Amino acid sequence: MSAVEIHNLRKEFRRGGGLGRKGRRTTALDGVSFAIDRGECVSILGRNGSGKSTLVRILSTLILPDGGEARLFGHDVVAEGAAVRRFVNRVSVEASFFKKMSPVENLSYAARFYGLGLHETRVRIPEILDRVGFPSSRRDARMEQLSRGTQQKVALARALLTSPVILLLDEPTTGLDPRSKLEVQDFIRDIREAHDTTILLCTHDMREAEILSDRIGILERGRLLHLAPVGELLARFESESVEEVFLAATGVSFEDDWDAPDRLEVTK
Amino acid sequence: MTRATLALRHELIGLLGVVERNWYLVKRYAIWEVTWFVWTVANTLTIVFIAKGIEASGGSLDVERETTVLLIGAVIWSYLGILFEILTQTVGWERWEGTIEYTFMAPLSRAVHLLGMGMFAVIYGLLRTALLFIVVASFFTLDLGQADYWAAFVVLVIASISFLGVGVMTAVFPLISPEKGTQLGFIAQGMLLVVSGVYYSVSVLPGWMQVLAKISPATYALRGIRSAILDGAGVGDLWGDIWPLLVIGVVSIPLGFLIFNRGEIYAKRHGMLKRSG
């Protein structure tokens, strides 16, 4: 059984509607299909608005798809959402914490939502914060007093605290300084090696995708154009870098707008 | 441990997690809590002084009794405000902080999540309401010697079950309308109290409003608490107000969960759980 099985997944949104107007339809995912084996790391590359975050949100049970199917270890994300939520966690581009609360307070209550009791968190939170290289002197500081990179370490600690079998990473290093980015990437590698965690990494950082993943997929305007190991993609496009592969596969250039234009259909 | 016991333990820990998180927030915003309380005292006083004002302008009324009637009405208004505000925060505050997606993707049943918010709201609301009552009452010379505070407390706790059901229904508004939903909670609070005799007897309302008063839990809560405080009625004497509260609670809690569930499905279908809404 694959860890992740996605078949013909479709999602569109209606935006800008109001009284008497249904608004415009935007296609976020258009028949996406792929599978990820247990312990594998797959990266999905795509421009802003290509559908990466929608894919992650559907797998996190936060968005309901319009059609198709997504299963995590055989559990349907729609019909068996409660079962799916037990073994999935996510780190997104925004660290997302109660900003007046400390890292320890944020991790404590979040751990309770996953059934971890007082004794367990008292032992595990310091351990995990140490592992992500979080300075012990800052554990009681407010989240708003921490740098973006340090907040992201707490986000990784939150995900790891719940021992996820599947980890969904949605641009986890976007906006981080080079050092923090390397630290986060090292930690992602550690998680995978230590826990055999299956990882879906959505990013537009080509280098990150190349060094962290077994296979790379290219998502453009809601369609998964290619999904293969890095070497195979390089050979297929006769390219020397993932950047070249991405540009050739999507047909965009560095001069183009890196926000993918919506696939629109105006309805009355 | 059996699977069912483990699942129950997991949910109970999650419930405590919700209460724990809200406690951290109260601690972190302590100075705002004090500020808010001072405002509530001032607001309550503006209402409770009305009885003295009527007497001063030549009106004839039992000032002490009417002052107590107004005090109870204003205090219950404040209590309902706390309950509805905290339940509405289930979505509103979390969306603002950006934590909403992490809470909604956690393996905690929505019923337990909402019950946790409700449990905190009731504990916090009862403490603040008791304090508000004591502080505002100290501004007046009230003879509360025969008041049965235990009976008033019992009625308020039982009424809270119904209030929570209605509060859960209003908590859905910010889910489906990120921009305006929170304000709808205040509207629900006002609608509930206007038909329930918050500062006057229900008998002065038009007939159609009196019909609505019969299905409002606040009607029975206000009447029961006033009987306990003003006339010293005991729990047994208040059964006529307690049983409708129990019936409304039994209906409103599952109805609240059902409505919230439908709202959550709508929000997930339209991608409205994310921070920007």
Residue-wise pLDDT for A150-190, tens only, equals 898 899 899 888 888 999 999 888 878 888 888 888 888 88
pLDDT for res B43: 93
Q: What is the pLDDT of residue A80?
A: 95
Number of structural domains in chain A: 1
Is B124 a member of any domain?
yes
Residues 6+ apart with CB under 8 A from B238: B151, B154, B155, B224, B227, B228
A116 lies in some domain: no
For testing contact with chain A, the best of B24, B103, B270 (most A CBs within 10 A): B24
| Enclosing domain of residue B87 | 3-269
Residue B158 predicted with pLDDT over 90: yes
Q: For residue B216, what are the contacts with CB-CB under 8 A and spacing of at least 6?
A: B192, B195, B196
Domain that holds residue A194: 4-94+164-266
Report the chain A residue with the minimal C-alpha distance to residue B7: A115
Lowest mean pLDDT among A15-19, A64-68, A110-114, B60-64: A15-19
pLDDT, tens digit (0-9, with 9 covering 90-100), for A190-245: 888 888 899 999 988 888 999 999 999 999 999 999 999 999 999 999 998 898 99
Mutate to test the interface with A, among B12, B24, B102 (most CBs of A within 10 A): B102
Residues of A in contact with B269 (CB under 8 A): 63-64
Does the residue B277 lie in any domain?
no
Q: Which residue of A has its CA nearest to B29?
A: A100
Within a domain: B275: no
- Number of other residues whose CB lies within 10 A of the CB of residue A248: 16
pTM: 0.88
Reported as a pLDDT band with limits 50, 70 and 90, residue A266 is: very low
Residue B276 lies in a domain: no
In this model, does residue B134 exceed pLDDT 70? yes
Number of domains in chain B: 1
Q: How far is A97 from chain B (nearest CA, A)?
A: 6
Domain assignment of residue A158, yes or no: no
Q: What pLDDT digit, counting tens, does each position of B66-121 carry? A: 999 999 999 998 999 899 889 887 788 888 888 999 999 999 999 999 999 999 99
SS3 percent helix, strand, coil of chain B, rounded to 5, is 80, 0, 20
Residue A201 lies inside a defined structural domain of this protein: yes
* Cα of A63 to nearest chain B Cα, Å: 4
- A218 DSSP β-pair partners: A45, A226
Residues B159/B220, Cβ–Cβ less than 8 Å: yes
Instruction: Give the closest of A90, A100, A108 to B105, CB-based.
Output: A90
State residue B275's pLDDT score. 58
pLDDT digits (tens, 9 = 90+) for A108-164: 999 999 999 999 999 999 998 988 888 888 888 999 999 988 898 899 899 888 888
- Please check the confidence at residue A267 and state whether its pLDDT lies above 50: no
Helix (H) or strand (E) holding B192: helix B181-194
Q: Is residue B168 part of a domain?
A: yes
Assess if residue B118 is contained within a domain.
Answer: yes
pLDDT category, A257, cuts 50, 70, 90? low
Residue B139 lies in a domain: yes
Within a domain: A127: no
Task: Report the CATH number that the domain containing residue A204 is assigned in CATH.
Answer: 3.40.50.300
| In-domain check, residue B190 | yes
